[in-house]
């Protein structure tokens, strides 16, 4: 086989994998966080960037993977739609998601193409929208504060009530830079938007996408036990992924 034929064959294999295999795979990642004053274990799922057009087998796969984890809470950081999303299919996904566990969400940039659609689906399925807002959830005497940041803006009101643990939800990673007071009180910051580069070639992808996010994917540790995690998300542009498979993040809070 000539070099040309071998190269052509390799390109065909990569194209098939990138368009028809990896976009429909799911990688579970785990983040274990130790909290000394926590008396019980809390399991949280973080997902982002659904970008659904129609409900297909892949969405069953997502839901089944989440259901297997039996989470206490699901956190969603936006981008549910594309420009021609079918409303009934979006509704089907979030109805099933909410049946697994309570869901808390913020908007993504794509959601602004049709906020009426997003709001209708979220309201119908009891999805707790905390965009530009703060809420607290209690596990006995343990208070979990959730802060939802609006895109590229400061939070309208910063709730400084002390909490046992604070999780910030944002869609675009850089949004936290507009909210220093929120960054200061955050223990964990969850974001999406980047799709992990979508086509991830070390150094090269990061160089070309640095204008969209100061950090591209995975865990970033700050001082004082502060963590940011950027999820690769579930959907993709043009149904293309290479070395950046769809991701479900499982966060385990415990005292050991």
Number of domains in the chain: 1
User: pLDDT tier at 43 (50, 70, 90 boundaries)?
Assistant: very high
% of residues, the chain, pLDDT over 90? 75
Query: What number of residues does the chain have?
Result: 256
Q: At residue 210, does pLDDT exceed 80?
A: no
Helix H or strand E encompassing 46 = strand 42-47
pLDDT > 90? residue 24: yes
pLDDT over 80 at 205, yes or no: no
**Strand partners of residue 191:** 230
Beta strands in 98-223 (DSSP E): 103-105, 128-129, 133-139, 142-148, 165-169, 188-191, 218-221
* Phi/psi at 111 (5° precision): -65, -25
For residue 126, give every residue at least 6 positions away whose Cβ sits within 8 Å of its Cβ, in sequence order, or none: 98, 102, 103
Predicted confidence (pLDDT) per residue in 90-146, tens digit: 999 999 999 999 999 999 999 999 999 999 999 999 999 999 999 999 999 899 999
Lowest mean pLDDT among 25-39, 149-163, 206-220: 206-220
Cβ contacts of residue 217 below 8 Å, gap of 6+?
194, 196, 197, 200, 230, 232, 244
- Determine the average pLDDT of the residues in 152-164: 88
The pLDDT score that the predictor gives to residue 216 is: 80
What's the pLDDT score for residue 8? 82
Over residues 186-202, the mean pLDDT reads 92
pLDDT at 161: 87
Name residues whose C-beta falls within 8 Å of residue 22's C-beta, 6 or more positions apart in sequence.
241, 242, 243, 244, 245
Of 227 and 161, which is predicted with more confidence?
A: 227
What does the pLDDT read at residue 213?
65
Q: What mean pLDDT, rounded, does the chain reach?
A: 93
Please give the distance of CA 187 from its chain centroid, rounded to a whole number: 17
5: left (phi over 0), alpha (psi -120 to 50) or beta: alpha
* 242 contacts 18 by C-beta, under 8 angstroms: yes
Mean pLDDT of 192-206: 85
Question: Does residue 233 sit in helix, strand or coil?
Answer: coil
Task: Supply the CATH number for residue 167's domain.
Answer: 3.60.21.10
Q: Taking residues 174-197, what's their average pLDDT?
A: 93
Q: Is beta strand 73-76 parallel, antiparallel or unpaired with respect to 42-47?
A: parallel
pLDDT of residue 73: 98
How confident is the model over 161-183, as a mean pLDDT? 93
pLDDT confidence tier of residue 152, bands split at 50, 70 and 90 = confident
Answer for the pair 7, 36: CB distance below 8 angstroms, yes or no: no
Domain containing 84 equals: 3-254
**What are the backbone dihedrals phi and psi of residue 151, each rounded to the nearest 5 degrees, phi first?**
-70, 125
Who wins on pLDDT, 162 or 59?
A: 59
């Amino acid at each position: 086989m000539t070099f040309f034929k071998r190269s052509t064959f390799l390109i065909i294999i990569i194209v098939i994998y990138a368009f028809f295999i990896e976009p429909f795979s799911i990688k579970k990642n785990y983040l274990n966080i130790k909290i000394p004053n926590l008396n019980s274990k809390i399991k949280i799922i973080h997902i982002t960037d659904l970008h659904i057009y129609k409900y297909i087998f892949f969405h069953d796969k997502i839901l089944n993977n989440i259901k297997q984890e039996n989470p206490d809470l699901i956190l969603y950081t936006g981008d549910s739609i594309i420009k021609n999303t079918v409303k009934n299919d979006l509704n089907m996904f979030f109805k099933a998601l909410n049946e697994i566990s309570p869901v808390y969400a913020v908007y993504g940039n794509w959601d602004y193409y049709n906020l009426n659609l997003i709001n209708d689906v979220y309201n119908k399925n009891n999805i707790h929208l905390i965009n530009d807002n703060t809420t607290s959830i209690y596990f006995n005497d343990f208070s979990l504060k959730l802060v939802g940041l609006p895109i590229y803006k400061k939070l309208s009101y910063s709730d400084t009530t002390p909490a046992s643990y604070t999780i910030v939800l944002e869609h675009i990673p850089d949004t936290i830079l507009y909210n220093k007071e929120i960054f200061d009180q955050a223990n964990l910051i969850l974001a999406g938007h980047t799709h992990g580069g979508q086509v991830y070639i070390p150094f090269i992808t990061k160089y070309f996408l640095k204008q969209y996010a100061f950090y591209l994917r995975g865990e970033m540790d700050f001082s004082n036990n502060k963590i940011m995690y950027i999820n690769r998300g579930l959907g993709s542009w043009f149904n293309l992924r290479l070395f950046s498979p769809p991701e479900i993040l499982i966060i385990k809070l415990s005292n050991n």
